[in-house]
Amino acid sequence: MIGFDTTTLIDFFRKNKELKELLDSIDEDFCTTLINYQEIIFGIDISDYAYLEEFNFYQSLFNNLILIIPDKNSCDKSSDIFWHLKKNNKLIDKFDIMVAGVLLSNGITKIITKNKKHYENIPGLKVISY
């Protein structure tokens, strides 16, 4: 199974050609996390005329993807990742740390993202970039 980063979900909405080609070439199940959903919902501007279209798209997408829910173990793993990155002066956005923690604590060791640098210093996580 391969996890989606939030950038991947956004590019899916935007019909990114490189992402589509990559996904078409992979024969594995895909998943995302509740953290990604939160980040997406935070980013949708309700004053934008396209709000409802975008909101409905993501509702449907998240209803059709395997959704990994954070638990105590994923919180602990996220904390481990945070302190590892901080110690090595490689801190990234906390949403990204939490996404990685949720995936890794659930045995998911691969993530698809456009932002390779966000995840490349997380031990045990293979980054697939497009």
pLDDT tens for each residue of 81-106: 999 999 999 999 999 999 999 999 99
* CATH label of the domain that carries residue 100: 3.40.50.1010
CA distances from 47 to 35, 40, 73 (A): 23, 15, 37
Residue 34's pLDDT is 98
Beta strands in 16-102, from DSSP E residues, in sequence order: 30-33, 66-68
Looking at the predicted structure, is the pLDDT value of residue 18 above 90?
A: yes
Q: pLDDT at residue 80 above 90?
A: yes
Residue 49: pLDDT band (50, 70, 90) is confident
Weakest-pLDDT range from 10-14, 49-53, 60-64, 95-99: 49-53
Domain of 44, in residue numbers: 2-129
Give which of 37, 28, 119 is closest to 70, Cα–Cα.
Answer: 37
Of 44, 64, 39, 57, the closest CA to residue 118 belongs to 39
**pLDDT at residue number 128:** 98
Nearest to 30 by CA among 20, 41, 43: 20
Helix or strand run (H / E) with residue 111: strand 110-113
**CB half-sphere exposure, 26, CA atoms < 13 A:** 19
Q: Pseudo-torsion of CA 77, 78, 81, 87, nearest 10°?
A: -120
What's the number of domains the chain is made of?
1
Confidence at 9, pLDDT banded by 50, 70, 90: very high
* pLDDT at residue 57 greater than cutoff 90: yes
CA–CA distance from 110 to each of 46, 55, 88, 116, 117 (Å)?
Answer: 32, 27, 22, 12, 14
Q: What is the pLDDT of residue 67?
A: 98
Identify the pLDDT of residue 48: 84
8-state DSSP, 5: P
